[in-house]
Chains A and B, each alone.
Chain A
Amino acid sequence: MSARENILGRLRRAPAGAPVPLPDVAAWFATTPVEDIATRATRFKANIEAAHAEVHETNAADWPSLLLEIAVQKGLGRLLVGHGTAQAEVLRSQPQHQLKLVSYEQPAATWRSELFENIDCALTAARSAIASTGSLILWPDASEPRLMSLVPPVHFVLLDAANIHADLHAAMTNERWAEAMPTNALVISGPSKTADIQQTLAYGAHGPRELIVLLCHRGAKSS
């Protein structure tokens, strides 16, 4: 008998308890009041800022110059961008900037020390976000791999303000996650942190020390 058969056999031989219906989780989340996009964006911003992230409100036209400005302020030199993404192309077409763009084109295994040691910051798009916890949702893929949001010390995230869900449950159900999960889905709620030394909060434990959200509003320019 294999370990699998033994374990399943013991579980199946155990006395049945009272039958338990499938819990109605959706009903619980349905009780939260419906908010408009602007309110969700405000709540998202307040919550992720409370977790030590920076949020800059901008729009689809202005974010590249804003990003370059912030990068210069922070003294960042090398920015990792995705391979063949729209945001990488937009940045590349910006006139006269000092930021060196590095494209993530090769498997991480072939340039790992470069990735770990010589990249100052990275830019990725967020798929969507969550208002209730101030969280960004990323589905890393071939063009924006998962280490972009983890290894560089500063992470810029481009977020469309129209894509902010009320909570994680709304994100999962509205985007129908359960039908086809990606190899890796991430929900990120601030820069990396730890309180393992005497409950004292410190940022930049293993992941990014800084998380900078470029919150793009549609319609009228905000800046």
Chain B
Amino acid sequence: MSQNQTVHFHPAEGFAERSRAAVNDAHLRRSFRGAMDFLQAKRLSQFPDADELSALRDLGKAIRLHALANLPDLLEQLEAKLQANGIQVHWAETPDQANAIVLDIAHRHDAKNMVKGKSMVSEEIGLNHAMEVAGIEALETDMGEYIVQLAGEAPSHIIMPAIHKTRQQIAELFAAKVPGVAYTDNVDELIRIGRDVLRKKFAAAEIGLSGVNFAVAETGTLYLVENEGNGRMCTSVPKVHIAVTGIEKVVAKLEHVALLNILLPRSATGQAVETYQNFISGPRKPDELDGPDEVHLILLDNGRTQAYADVQLRATLQCIRCGACMNHCPVYARIGGHAYGTTYPGPIGAIISPHLLGLEATYALATASSLCGACVEVCPVRIPITDILIRLRNEAQAASAGKLRGGGRARKPLQSSIWLVWSWIYGQPWLYRIVSWLMSRGRALAPSNQGAWTRSRTPLNPAPQRLRDLLRRPASG
């Protein structure tokens, strides 16, 4: 099975081309428009009381801020509690380290088959590829992820991975790729086919791999939510369960989960609650008849400490991965998830990816926003996404590299000089008056070809009369 991007992927290159191709793809546009309208309406129906929603978001934000303010202490507390519960804790600074830890565990158990619950962190580290190279089959078992893996693609949405595909496309894919399956585009039938294939895999796999929604420091508990039951299969059938998560997913108290899970499913898919909330606080006890013999947690940094080091950018780590920001983003709705070229697309992808991949590889993503703020309005933990986007644009254009990996790499000397002159003119009223007068007189000289601007827009021309001229004219009537 083919693989997602490697961790050295350079999404900024080709972002404009991929976006343009996506915008001109009528199928894709219809898929995303339909899905976004559906998800927006469902979310809204779950939050009928605006005041209550506002208070909930305040609390959600407070819980995440509290966790980040105490992050190193909470991680140490989490580690101690998990270890006391019999869960093994590993730390990884890079995707390579994380994959090496998984491989080491797999080799100790002589494992050849891994079933995977939905995990965006595993996508982030390119785990499937690393397993494939080592001769281990890493099979996605979430229906959407299974479809995407079968197609040799990457997820286009963090909650609904196969959102870009139509029912007919999935029907064709199953008929072509699943042995012994005749074409059907009946959704119940398609799901039954997936269920039958994957049940055999759950029963045979030595390792189950999952993500984590929240890790509770107080009790040493891994909290996972899902609708399908594949996550529970992965965490309770194989003899080894490996969970991978970013270091920011910790919360201080068990009761914090009760509050956050009012926000998470409603913001994500507009459902009041997920089918399964799975609290894992240890491997099976000797007298228990099922459950894994070993449970491992891998805590991944991969650039998160860079975001943490800056008080403004730290807010990026408040994220609970609901996907509401992309569901409401006018840019995401039009170009879809693949155009971003990153594991995390949409507004959250634009602000987290620079820390994971470097600003030099991702600066274009921060420009893919009209700064309309729809994402900020729906974020359940009130991340100031637009402020962070502006900050990242500035960091990418800065004269010096700054503190961020790849900072200043989007700077073009000519463009910077033009803006310098522009800001100087706009800072001197007398000069601005002269220049704007010259512009209004010389408007016939404005070029009709204005590069990227005129590719899909009419040329910009200075007005025949300046605003100050219009204002000075006596009011008529």
| B38 interface hit (Cβ, 8 Å) | yes
The answer, among A83, A146, A196, for a CB contact under 8 Å with B147, is: A196
Interface hit among B12-20, B65-73, B348-356, B452-460: B65-73
Closest to B314 in A: A17
Does chain A have a CB within 8 A of B88? no
CA distance A181 to B187 in the complex (A): 39
B:40-84 near A, CB below 8 Å: 55-56, 59, 62-63, 65-66, 68-72, 75-76
B199 / chain A contacts, CB cutoff of 8 Å: 116, 206
A75 contacts chain B at the CB level, 8 A cutoff: no
Residues of chain A within 8 A (CB-CB) of B227 are: 192-195, 205
A33 CB within 8 Å of chain B: no
A196, B195: Cβ atoms closer than 8 Å: no
Nearest CB in chain B to that of A146: its residue: B236
Contact across chains for B309 and A199 when beta carbons are under 8 A apart: no
CA distance in complex: A5, B257 (Å): 28
Q: Mark A172-211, 1 if CB is under 8 A from B, else 0.
A: 1100011001111111111111111111101011111000
Q: Nearest chain-A residue to B307 (Cβ)? A: A14
A interface, over-half SS: loop
Cross-chain contact A25 with B281 (CB below 8 angstroms): no
Asked whether, in the complex, the Cβ of A197 is within 8 Å of the Cβ of B305, the reply is: no
* Docked pose: A3 CA to B101 CA in angstroms: 12
Of B21-29, B247-255, B362-370, B440-448, the one with at least 4 CB within 8 A of chain A: B247-255
User: Nearest Cβ in chain A — how far from B269, in angstroms?
Assistant: 7
- Is A22 positioned at the interface, with any CB of B under 8 Å from its CB? yes
Bound state CA distance, A188 and B227, in angstroms? 9
Complex Cα gap A206–B143 (Å): 9
CB atoms of A4 and B91 under 8 A apart: yes
Look across to chain A and name the residue whose beta carbon is closest to the beta carbon of B71. Answer: A11
B288 at interface by CB-CB < 8 Å:
yes
Q: How far is the CA of A23 from the CA of B62 in the complex (A)?
A: 6
Is B397 an interface residue, CB under 8 A from the partner? Answer: no
Q: Contacts of B232 on A, CB cut-off 8 Å?
A: 146, 150, 186, 206-207
Are A20 and B65 in contact, with the CB atoms below 8 A?
yes
B144 touches A196 (CB 8 A): yes
Q: Are A20 and B253 in contact (CB under 8 A)?
A: no
| Other-chain residue from A107, A188, A198 in contact with B289 (beta carbon distance below 8 A) | A107
The answer for the CA separation of A223 and B62 in the assembled complex, in Å, is: 48
Residues of A within 8 Å of B326, CB to CB, are none
Contact of A183 among B38, B143, B282 (CB under 8 A): B282
User: Which residues 119-164 in A have Cβ within 8 Å of B in the complex?
Assistant: 133-135, 140-142, 145-147, 150
Q: Across the interface, do A206 and B195 meet the contact criterion of CB distance under 8 Å?
A: yes
- In the complex, residue of chain A having the shortest beta-carbon distance to the beta carbon of B162: A196
Given known pairs A20-B65, A147-B290, the reply for A184 and B170 (CB within 8 Å) is no
In the bound complex, residues from chain A placing their C-beta under 8 Å from that of B229 are: 150, 192, 205-208
Assess A190 versus B255: contact at CB under 8 Å? Given A141-B288, A184-B236, A196-B142: no
Whether A200 and B290, one on each chain, are in contact in the complex, defined by CB atoms closer than 8 angstroms, is: no
Determine if A15 and B311 form an interchain contact, defined as CB atoms under 8 angstroms apart: yes
Bound Cα distance A17, B143 (Å): 41
Q: Does B160 contact A (CB under 8 A)?
A: yes
Q: Tell me the minimal C-beta distance from A111 to chain B in angstroms.
A: 10
Residue of B nearest to A113 (CB): B203
Chain B nearest CB, measured from A216 CB (Å): 23
Tell me, in angstroms, the Cα distance from A169 to B187 when the chains sit together.
Answer: 36
Q: Which residues of B contact A108 (CB under 8 A)?
A: 237, 289-290
Q: Which chain A residues lie closer than 8 Å to B35 at the CB level?
A: 199
Closest 5 CB pairs of A and B: A207-B229, A196-B144, A205-B228, A187-B277, A133-B273
B interface residues (Cβ-Cβ under 8 A, vs A): 34-35, 38, 55-56, 59, 62-63, 65-66, 68-72, 75-76, 85, 91-93, 97, 141-144, 147, 160-162, 165-167, 170, 187-188, 190-192, 194-195, 198-199, 202-203, 218-221, 227-230, 232-233, 236-237, 239, 247, 252-259, 261, 269, 272-285, 287-291, 299, 301, 305, 308-309, 311, 314
